[in-house]
Amino acid sequence: MKVCEIFASIQGESSLAGIPMIFLRLTGCNLRCSYCDTKYAYYEGEELSIDKVLKKIHSFPFKYVEITGGEPLLEEEVYEIMNQLVQTHTVLLETNGSISIERVNPQVKIIMDIKTPGSGMSERNYIENLKFLKKIDELKFVLTDRADYEWAKDFLKNHEIKVKEILFSPAYGILNPAELAKWIISDGLSVRLNLQIHKYIFGNLRGV
């Protein structure tokens, strides 16, 4: 499998923000979102065996692992990695929502994007994935402006959502978090404002 990087850091997003964990970033993505902050993961990386990946992960002391990308579900070996890791770790999968999650091990906590129009990729959402989500999973909307916010609100009204956690994330450096917070409060939405706190801590450094 082609691996972009494996490192330990503070989880910056989701309901687990602030928790130290291991990140396995796989190479390759089938989308090209307007605000992408990991373009280096489109192509950079090296081919590693599953055994080498697991050995590196087990060298860290943390019990949480997030598998991300790029888009990790493009790699067939990721399913075997997840099946093995759930035996020793709490596993999170960050996915862009364009590929079926039906085969993902049910012990894995999925954090799935719904792409808004501002991403330029909203037509690539695989809506069937909503029926495969579990209550423990999380749904994330990255918002670039008020139009994205209104689109996300309408999406939630028009679809059955099983998950407990719905994340509204302002695109870093594009949408002011204070504005988004005001909209959420004004509309009384039961969502979580999702800031990328690793960026506020480390900036745009890689591998942290």
For residue 6, which amino acid is it? I
For the annotated binding site for substrate, the residues are 10-12, 25, 68
Q: Domains in the chain and their CATH numbers?
A: 2-202 (3.20.20.70)
* Alpha carbons 192 and 167: distance in angstroms, whole number: 5
Q: Which of these, 137, 58, 55, lies nearest to 104 by C-alpha position?
A: 137
Q: Give the pLDDT of residue 207.
A: 67
For the annotated binding site for [4Fe-4S] cluster, the residues are 29, 33, 36
Contact 130, 159 (CB under 8 A): yes
Q: Give the pLDDT of residue 147.
A: 98
Q: Give the pLDDT of residue 143.
A: 98
Q: Give the pLDDT of residue 86.
A: 98
Q: Give the pLDDT of residue 24.
A: 98
Contact 8, 62 (CB under 8 A): yes
For the annotated binding site, the residues are 10-12, 25, 29, 33, 35-38, 68, 70
For the annotated binding site for Mg(2+), the residues are 38
- pLDDT tens-digit readout, 73-98: 999 999 999 999 999 999 999 999 99
Q: What is the pLDDT along the chain (208 residues), one digit of tens a residue?
A: 999 999 999 999 999 999 999 999 999 999 999 999 999 999 999 999 999 999 999 999 999 999 999 999 999 999 999 999 999 999 999 999 999 999 999 999 999 999 999 999 999 999 999 999 999 999 999 999 999 999 999 999 999 999 999 999 999 999 999 999 999 999 999 999 999 887 777 777 776 6
For the annotated binding site for S-adenosyl-L-methionine, the residues are 35-37, 70
pTM to 2 decimal places? 0.95
Q: Give the pLDDT of residue 198.
A: 79
